[in-house]
Amino acid sequence: MNREEYADFLVKSEHDYKYYENKYPKRDLPEGAMVTRYAPSPTGLVHLGALYTSFISVKMAKQSGGVSFLRIEDTDQKRSIDDGVRKIIEDLAKFDINFDEGVTLEGDKGNYGPYTQSERGDIYKAFVKKLIIEDKAYPCFCSEDDLKHDHDRQAANKERLGYYGIWARCRRLSMDDVIEKVNNGEKYIIRLKSRGNFNHHFKFKDEIKGKMELPENDQDIVILKSDGLPTYHFAHAVDDHLMGTTHVIRGDEWLSSIPVHVQLFEMLDFELPKFAHVSPICIEEDGKKRKLSKRKDPEAAISFYHEKGIPNKALMLFLETIANSNFEMWMLQNKDSDPDEFKLDFKKMPIGGTLFDYEKLISISKNYISKLKATEVYDMAFEWASLYDKDFASLMEKYKDYTTSIFNIEREQKKPRKDIAYFSEVKDQIWYMYDELFNPSVYEWQNVTDKSEIKNVLDTYLNDYYKEDDDKDSWFNHMKEAAVKLGYAGEMREYKDNPDNYKGSIADFSTVVRVALTSKCNTPDLYEIMRLLGKDRIMMRINKVTV
């Protein structure tokens, strides 16, 4: 049996590797264009970290005039869940993360497919055969128990764990031994015949982490599992080579596998792509940093932000400031520019894990919402309420124009209000504008608390000074006149200079009106509120107080 026959005896494939090398020609792209990929396993819902790396991958490709694609890594059938792929695609699309190529809801798109690993079995086998022919891979008959036994011995002797050197028993099997075992029906997997020396270090440069020195891999890692599917490492090398990936962008938990991957590319005669290992988003617990965990941390789930009512765009802005800290500065200097114009840079990405800063997210979200038009705020707030607060949603819908006007108070101007950070808090901020909800149990009176004085203020103002169609200036002048008449200072300056000469200030006076109408002492502009409420409701609410 020659080596070709031997390889064919061990692994069957329809085509040989040359067929696939020809089937997927090199991509013809301009200098500097990146081909990136996002390659998740369909094991559950998309979480923040996935959103983060997929965003970086797609944006990097786009800004360099390259190509991004989505590849599904489902070589572990046990962990894949139904519908996992659809959820990934849909969730990412909500955040405007769309790939140029790869798996889509309508099937594969692009010339380098299939893009789902479970459909690429023959391709992997073809390359496994290539390695066997070149004596770079061999079958291993060790059972799980054998492996465990060795592992325990290694641990007991404090030796390095794994299948390497003298521990790599099956590596020494002759071709005849192998043929006999196979003919006896013994099960086997295929391992890489590593030529690395753990005591030799090689230089490696990561696009994000920079230069480092790593030991060569000397583990005879598994490349083809007993189920006939490849391991991650092998599939990664074959796929990214065939698909023409120029930049492998992935989580930094992969950094320690680099020796394996570099070796794999070498032994397969593949050109090594560049690697960018993205640091995780962390959270602090008991004074220690740890990666955001899907199971423990609610904020790891994308749904968390959705339920809270934080706009998707705001979340992306937040992720982009984590990705490149200079993005924030750029935004400040390019207030009117589209964030898409900002160019992400690997060199600016954080090297250590970044702590998830909720306050910062809130601040970004506030700023983002403050720049929206009232109608946009209405649409988004309504969309949120339709899902999470149906009663409020129907109220918003019933008074659509009115609600939009409420959102418009102090909004479409140079320095808009920044009081909405997320849509779940909207109701708490404007409920008093709706008669259906206005039924205060407490009035937040401030400096003026005396019942008769409150009545006095309200009566005086309402009867003699409130004019329904005043513009803002006359409205405030009337307010001042009423205040002065009752012994309040009409100007804050005067009051501050001689507080003892007055009952209080115009601020105290208008606060009484404000609280009477809204029950709250902190509200947006009173004039606007009164204008929206209109005379009848103003009277009604004031009467309600005095009863």
Q: Would you give the binding string for RNA spanning residues 41-60, x where CB under 7 A is met?
A: x-------------------
**Cβ nearer to RNA, comparing 2 with 413:** 413
Around 202, how many Cα atoms within 13 Å sit in the side-chain half-sphere? 15
Three-class DSSP category at 439: coil
Q: Are 276 and 252 within 8 A, CB to CB? A: no
Regarding 175 and contact with RNA (CB under 7 A), the answer is no
Sheet arrangement for strand 101-104: 107-109, 101-104, 67-70, 35-38, 247-251, 274-278
DSSP string over 507-526: HHHHHHHHHHHHS-S--S-H
CB 229, min distance to RNA, A: 6
Within positions 390 to 409, which residues make up the interface with RNA, using CB under 7 A? none
Quick note: the x/- pattern for RNA over 408-447, rule CB under 7 A, is: --x----xxxxx----------------------------
- Is the Cβ of residue 230 or residue 244 nearer to RNA in the bound state? 230
Comparing CB distances to RNA, the nearer of 232 and 270 is 232
Q: Is 102 in the site for RNA (CB under 7 A)?
A: no
Q: Which of 24-32, 44-52, 304-312, 504-512 is the region at the interface with RNA (rule: CB under 7 A)?
A: 504-512
Burial 437-460 (b: 16+ CB within 10 A, else e): ebebeeeebeebeeeeebeebbeb
State yes or no: residue 357 binds RNA (CB under 7 A): yes
- Restricted to residues 468-497, the positions that interact with RNA (CB under 7 A) are 472, 476, 492-493
Q: Closest distance between RNA and the C-beta of residue 421, in Å?
A: 9
Asked if 231 interacts with RNA (CB under 7 A), we say yes
Query: Can residue 187 be called a binding residue for RNA (CB under 7 A)?
Result: yes
**Closest of 198, 359, 208, 327 to residue 275, by C-alpha:** 208
Restricted to residues 131-160, the positions that interact with RNA (CB under 7 A) are 142-144, 147, 151, 158, 160
Smallest distance, RNA to C-beta of residue 1, A: 24
CB 28 within 8 A of CB 217: no
- Which one of residues 173, 214, 437, 486 is an interface residue with RNA (CB under 7 A)? 214
Nearer to RNA, 102 or 524 (CB): 524
- Would you give the binding string for RNA spanning residues 255-284, x where CB under 7 A is met? xxx----------------------x----
Q: Which of 449, 522, 543, 546 binds RNA (CB under 7 A)?
A: 522
Any contact of residue 310 with RNA (CB under 7 A)? no
CA 33, CA 55: separation in Å to the nearest integer?
17
Q: Which is nearer to RNA, 393 or 518 (CB)?
A: 518
Distance of CA 511 to CAs 59, 158, 489, 502, 543, Å? Answer: 50, 75, 13, 16, 17
Closest to RNA by CB, 8 or 419 = 419
Q: How many CA atoms lie within 13 A of 543 on its CB side?
A: 7
Range 25-44, binding RNA (CB under 7 A): 39-41
**From the list 57, 365, 510, 519, which residue makes contact with RNA (rule: CB under 7 A)?**
510
Q: Rounded distance, CA 456 to CA 433, Å?
A: 24
User: Closest Cα to residue 6, out of 254, 244, 174, 208?
Assistant: 174
291 part of the interface to RNA, by CB under 7 A? yes
**φ, ψ (nearest 5 deg) of residue 4:** -60, -45
**Separation between Cα atoms, residue 191 and residue 186, nearest integer Å:** 16
Q: Which two tokens stand for residue 121?
A: 């079995």
Q: Is 81 in the site for RNA (CB under 7 A)?
A: no
- Among residues 203, 209, 138, the alpha carbon closest in space to that of 171 is found at 138
13 contacts RNA (rule: CB under 7 A)? no
Count of residues that bind RNA according to CB under 7 A: 85
Task: Spell out the residues 6+ positions from residue 268 whose beta carbon is closer than 8 angstroms to its own.
Answer: 127, 130, 131, 237, 238, 241
